[in-house]
């Protein structure tokens, strides 16, 4: 029976993953409803999330989750039916419900035993708050109401008939038939049930791991066919199920069909939209039709192809009047759009695949070297084709790990909502560039620095309502999150229209901390960048949210650890902009291969603007300068050999200059030899080199040699700062 246990555990893991996604969707729906209480799509999305979590928990016997979620689902049902009106207090209550449900799921899946007293108190408190909005479930005032044996009213409740035959492998797959029957009782009252045991074989052929059971069930419930089918979601592929609706629903279906918008819907889509059929039933009805079409191909006298409406009526899926109403509603048809299918891939498997592709890239480079040495034309052509295919495989595999940053941005809607209420501020969040894609690994690692910057902007960036009105601003502050691609990198900006950075206060604090001395002549930008120094803070008081400057050095270190850079721009009284520039991926990049002495280096190709080859006279003219005139633009440059103290580099060689750019910074790097483009597999340098400036990683060349990957943003900062310092009039006077 270990197999069943393993299957059950695997099912729980799938439930945990789906529950995490559903709760995230629920949070996003609630944040939409916080701005528009009447958004029907968001209400339906929220209901679906809670309902699906409840259904999945019921199948695995997680009754604490089922019982708690049932109250939220019942209230959402009233909101959907416009019996209860959604407002700000209800949105807040549902957010608390969603947060507690997340903790409850984690407890049920990862811990054992009874709920702690604290858990039970929070559970009871939230259930009590939810029940305040729910009407009484019993109505004894009506004289004509019917009652069940338990005394509950059944007026208006429809009787459904469910014919169920479980698949032979249901038990082996970890599914307990009894749990499905028990869960049906959550939808209504199981009035009658008949066990069908005709499939049970003789004892000599009996297998205890096989399931031979079937059921005929009468269910009294005010529900839909789709909700009943959802109960059996995990076994739909293994069992046969027919759900017969009450005849009294036919008029309701016809009414809903007539109220549908005039869209290009096929017959099956119309019946699904009104609730008469589920999508699974439509797919099942289409199968005989598709089979008839296949059989008719090539026949001289093909047999007539049955219409889907005839199949639906013949299989007793719904009544003839309902199908006829749908046919009348159908004005025109449109082609079915192929649904995009997705599968879950274990992150470790994906990482392993990317590593293998990296080794493939290195191996391909090695083959390329040997092909050139042999100088066989046919071999060289084959190698060129192989290189093209490897590049396509590389781009495809890396694309698997690219995700849109919008999901991360959306998480901060909740932060803005909660923090603004805590601080009694009115703050509006704007998001742009949500479709911008970034490596999933980078997104995971950048979340905490982004959260810190957002909290800083909310707490100390945007002023209070009173201060904003005094400054002539709108009382509602604006915080914007933006992402865009630039020069082969992704830029994330956090902007606010608050008070901005106080330049004088920053400068005074830096002098007081001994970070700079009074003789330093700094630009406004250099002063603003001082907030990234360790332990620097201008906050007048510490709050439980943030302190502008507190931890900013940690933010910068985390960003630089990802081969990125942090920047800040501010206008006092008008706001502040924090910019984070990151590489698109941490795995494989297109690089530009150069040599300095006996050392090899790789520059990210997207940051290479151009290569300049100076004549002897030009090289001689610039021999004593660290800049040149590039088409009217002053371009500072430096020899890589000087930067990394390479002993055997050619100091007199100024012929090859690689112009690199990152953001608004541009400079030249002098090298001994240009070796061309190179697919670069990024390898970490290790802890020993973690504080080494100017290098971001290493790679293995096709020859087996190691090349260092240059951290262009960091190197540019060094070159530009050195050039600005040398150009300062005071420094020139001292010289």
Is 153 within a domain?
no
Q: Are residues 317 and 414 in the same domain?
A: no
Long-range contacts of residues 302-307, Cβ cutoff 8 Å, at least 24 apart? none
DSSP annotation of 433 = -
Question: Is 87 a domain residue?
Answer: yes
Residue 692: which CATH number? Answer: 2.30.30.40
Q: Are residues 608 and 642 in the same domain?
A: yes
The CA angle 57-71-10, to the nearest 5 degrees, is 10
**First-last CA distance in the chain:** 85
Q: Which residues contact 728 (CB under 8 A, 6 or more apart)?
A: 521
What strands, in cross-sheet order, belong to the sheet with 656-662? 608-613, 656-662, 665-671, 633-639, 627-630
Q: Please report whether residue 419 resides in a domain.
A: yes
Q: Which of 665, 724, 693 is nearest to 486 (CA)?
A: 665
pLDDT band at 727 (very low <50, low <70, confident <90, very high): low
Residue 431 and residue 569 in one domain: yes
Instruction: Note whether residue 516 is domain-resident.
Output: yes
Residue 634, φ and ψ in degrees, nearest 5: -75, 120
Environment class of residue 650 by beta-carbon count within 10 Å: exposed (0-12), middle (13-18) or buried (19+)?
A: middle
Q: To 10 degrees, what angle do helices 63-80 and 88-110 make?
A: 160
Residue, of 638 and 114, whose pLDDT is higher:
638
Q: Is residue 337 part of a domain?
A: no
Dihedral sign computed on CA atoms, order 132, 134, 135, 136: negative
Lookup: tokens for 521: 């002549």
Mean pLDDT, rounded, for 225-246: 77
Per residue in 502-521, pLDDT tens?
A: 888 888 888 887 777 777 67
Are 504 and 356 within one domain? no
| Residue 458: CATH number of its domain | 3.30.565.10
585 or 552, greater pLDDT: 552
Inter-residue contact 561 to 711 (CB < 8 Å): no
450 and 374 share a domain? no
Q: Does 378 lie in the same domain as 499? A: no
151 found inside a domain:
no
| pLDDT of res. 336 | 33
C-alpha to C-alpha distance for 638 and 625, rounded to whole angstroms = 10
Given a cut of 60, whether residue 580 has pLDDT beyond it is yes
Rounded Cα–Cα distance for residues 310 and 236 (Å): 24
**Other residues' Cβ atoms within 10 Å of the Cβ of residue 84:** 16
Out of 583, 599, 633, a domain closes at: 583
Higher pLDDT, 306 or 55: 55
In terms of domains, do 317 and 392 share one?
no
| pLDDT at residue 558 in the model | 85
pLDDT of 729 above 70: no
CA distances from 370 to 162, 376, 383 (A): 70, 10, 10
* pLDDT tens-digit map of 462-508: 999 998 999 899 999 999 999 998 877 889 999 999 999 888 888 88
Q: How far apart are CA 583 and CA 320, in angstroms?
A: 61
From 381, 401, 421, the end of a domain falls on 401
**Percentage with pLDDT > 90 across the chain:** 8
CATH code for the domain in which residue 269 is found: 3.30.70.260
| Structural domain boundaries, residue 220 | 158-295+305-329
DSSP β-bridge partners for residue 662:
665
Asked whether the predicted pLDDT for residue 292 surpasses 60, the reply is: no
Q: Are residues 706 and 633 in the same domain?
A: yes
Phi, psi of 430 (to 5 degrees): -115, 135
Q: How far apart are CA 561 and CA 582, in angstroms?
A: 10
Same domain? 626 vs 650 = yes
Torsion of CA 704, 705, 709, 715, to 10 degrees: -170
pLDDT for residue 257 is more than 70: no
User: Does position 220 have pLDDT exceeding 90, yes or no?
Assistant: no
466: Cβ–Cβ under 8 A, 6 or more apart, which residues? none
Task: Tell which residue, 448, 450, 435, has the closest CA to residue 403.
Answer: 435
For residue 681, give every residue at least 6 positions away whose Cβ sits within 8 Å of its Cβ, in sequence order, or none.
358, 359, 361, 362, 587, 588, 699, 700
Q: Are residues 458 and 558 in the same domain?
A: yes
In a domain, 148, yes or no: no
Q: Is there a domain that residue 575 lies in?
A: yes
Per-residue pLDDT of 150-173, as tens digits, reads 444 444 466 777 878 888 888 877
Q: Indicate whether 171 and 311 sit together in one domain.
A: yes
pLDDT tens for 315-343 read 666 666 777 677 766 643 333 333 335 66
Whether 261 and 363 share a structural domain: no
Based on the structure, what is the number of domains in the chain?
5
Which of 384, 401, 418 is a domain's end point?
Answer: 401
């Amino acid at each position: 029976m270990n197999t069943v246990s393993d299957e059950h555990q695997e099912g729980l893991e799938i439930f945990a993953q789906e529950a995490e996604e559903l709760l995230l969707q629920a949070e996003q729906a609630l944040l939409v409803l916080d701005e528009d209480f009447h958004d029907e799509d968001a209400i339906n999305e929220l209901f679906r999330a809670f309902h699906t979590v409840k259904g999945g928990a019921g199948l695995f016997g997680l009754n604490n989750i089922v019982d708690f979620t049932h109250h939220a689902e019942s209230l959402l049902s009233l909101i959907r039916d416009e019996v209860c009106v959604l407002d700000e207090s209800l949105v807040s209550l549902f957010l608390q419900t969603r947060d507690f449900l997340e903790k409850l799921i984690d407890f049920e899946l990862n811990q054992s035993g009874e709920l702690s007293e604290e858990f039970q108190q929070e559970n009871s408190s939230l259930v009590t708050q939810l029940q305040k909005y729910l009407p009484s479930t019993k109505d004894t005032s009506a004289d004509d109401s019917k009652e069940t044996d338990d005394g509950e009213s059944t007026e208006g409740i429809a009787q459904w008939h469910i014919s169920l035959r479980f698949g032979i492998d249901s038990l082996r797959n970890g599914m307990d038939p009894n749990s499905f029957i028990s869960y049906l009782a959550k939808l209504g009252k199981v009035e009658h049930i008949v066990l069908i045991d005709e499939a049970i074989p003789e004892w000599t052929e009996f297998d205890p791991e096989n399931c031979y059971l079937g059921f005929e069930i009468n269910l009294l419930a005010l529900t839909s066919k789709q909700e009943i089918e959802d109960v059996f979601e995990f076994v739909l592929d293994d069992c046969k199920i027919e759900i017969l609706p009450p005849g009294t629903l036919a008029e309701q279906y016809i009414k809903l069909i007539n109220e549908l918008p005039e869209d290009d819907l096929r017959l099956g889509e119309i019946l699904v939209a009104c609730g008469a059929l589920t999508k699974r039933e439509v797919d099942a009805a289409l199968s005989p039709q598709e089979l008839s079409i296949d059989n008719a191909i090539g026949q001289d006298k093909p047999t007539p192809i049955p219409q889907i409406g005839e199949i639906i009526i013949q299989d007793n899926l719904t009544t003839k009047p309902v199908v006829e109403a749908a046919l009348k509603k159908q004005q025109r048809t449109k082609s079915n759009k192929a649904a995009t299918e997705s599968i879950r891939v274990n992150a470790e498997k994906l990482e392993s695949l990317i590593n293998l592709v990296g080794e493939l890239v290195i191996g391909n480079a090695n083959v390329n070297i040997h092909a050139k040495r042999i100088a066989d034309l046919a071999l060289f052509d084959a190698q060129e084709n192989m290189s093209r295919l490897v590049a396509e495989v590389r781009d495809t595999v890396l694309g698997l790990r690219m995700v849109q940053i919008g999901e991360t941005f959306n998480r901060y809607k909740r932060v803005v909502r909660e923090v603004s209420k805590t601080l009694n501020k009115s703050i509006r969040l704007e998001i742009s560039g949500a479709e911008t894609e970034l490596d999933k690994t980078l997104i995971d690692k950048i979340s905490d620095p982004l959260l810190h910057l957002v909290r800083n902007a909310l707490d100390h960036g945007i002023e209070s309502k009173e201060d904003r009105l005094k400054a002539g601003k709108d009382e509602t502050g604006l915080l914007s999150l933006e992402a865009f691609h630039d020069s082969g990198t992704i830029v994330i900006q956090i902007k606010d229209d608050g008070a901005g950075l106080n330049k004088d206060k920053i400068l005074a604090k830096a002098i007081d901390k001994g970070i700079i001395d009074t003789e330093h002549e700094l630009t406004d930008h250099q002063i603003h960048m001082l907030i990234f120094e360790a332990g620097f803070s201008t906050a007048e008081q510490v709050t439980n949210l943030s302190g502008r400057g507190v931890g900013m050095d940690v933010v910068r270190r985390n960003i630089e650890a990802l081969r990125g850079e942090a920047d800040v721009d501010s206008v006092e009284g008008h706001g502040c902009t924090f910019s984070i520039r990151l590489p698109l991926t941490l795995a494989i990049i297109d690089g530009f291969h150069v040599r300095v002495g006996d050392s090899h280096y790789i520059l990210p190709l997207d940051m290479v603007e151009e290569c300049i080859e100076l004549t002897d006279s030009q090289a001689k003219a610039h021999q004593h300068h660290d800049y040149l005139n590039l088409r009217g633009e002053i371009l500072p440059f430096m020899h890589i050999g000087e930067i990394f103290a390479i002993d055997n580099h050619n100091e007199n060689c100024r012929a090859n200059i690689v112009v690199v750019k990152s953001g608004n910074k541009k400079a030249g790097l002098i090298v001994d030899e240009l070796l061309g483009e190179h697919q670069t597999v990024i390898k970490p340098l290790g802890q020993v080199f973690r504080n080494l400036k100017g290098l971001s990683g290493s790679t293995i060349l096709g020859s087996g040699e190691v090349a260092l990957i240059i951290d262009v943003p960091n190197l540019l900062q060094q070159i530009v700062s050195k050039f600005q310092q040398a150009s300062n009039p005071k420094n020139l006077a001292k010289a």
